Amino acid sequence: MLKSILLAIALATSICVPAAEVPIRGVVSSKCVINTDTAGVYGNPTPNLLSTQAVDGGVSPVIRYDVIESGYYKAIISTPTAFTSSPTLTDNVTWTGSVGVSKVTDSSMSAYTNNKRTYNNITEVDLTVQGTVWFSATSKAQYGYGKAFPAGEYKAVVLAECIAL
């Protein structure tokens, strides 16, 4: 009987013990940093074409990736498929674009050229080498069939992301 009473007191005491939740916080900083090295400019070599290629009077945008910890991230670069702002367009715009490695700080990064995956308007590259790599993107927009782009300012965006694997 005494054992039963002691057991009941022990259980009651353990139920009434105060508790506290102690938070733990942490901040993770990406070890992959993206910077715009060169902003793009559309050239207008013919009335129905806007192009960032130098041969067409344009400037291709260049994106710099600083990879502090290799093997943990992938670069995803999307070339435009629409204007972010433009005059009113009444016909279809056909978009083409590409992304390539333009400069590296480590020669083994040159493998990114052959190891990239391209689909639709997206290029993916696993960032397997520590250092800095510059990607150049081209963008061409062709308007309708035999139509001229209306006069005005045209803007589009290359989206560069660094995704943790």
At 114-131, the pLDDT tens digits run 999 999 999 999 999 999
Query: Nearest Cα to 52, choosing from 116, 146, 137?
Result: 137
**What's the chain's average pLDDT?**
93
- In the predicted model, is pLDDT for residue 87 greater than 90? yes
Architecture of domain 31-164: Sandwich (2.60)
Kindly tell me the burial class for residue 19, based on how many C-beta atoms sit within 10 Å of its own C-beta (0-12, 13-18, 19 or more). Answer: exposed
Query: Which residue carries 């990239």 as its tokens?
Result: 116
- Quote the pTM value: 0.84
- In the predicted model, is pLDDT for residue 92 greater than 80? yes
Kindly tell me the burial class for residue 73, based on how many C-beta atoms sit within 10 Å of its own C-beta (0-12, 13-18, 19 or more). Answer: buried
For 2-39, write each residue's pLDDT tens digit.
666 655 665 555 566 688 999 999 998 899 999 999 99
Bridge partners of residue 161, in order along the sequence = 76
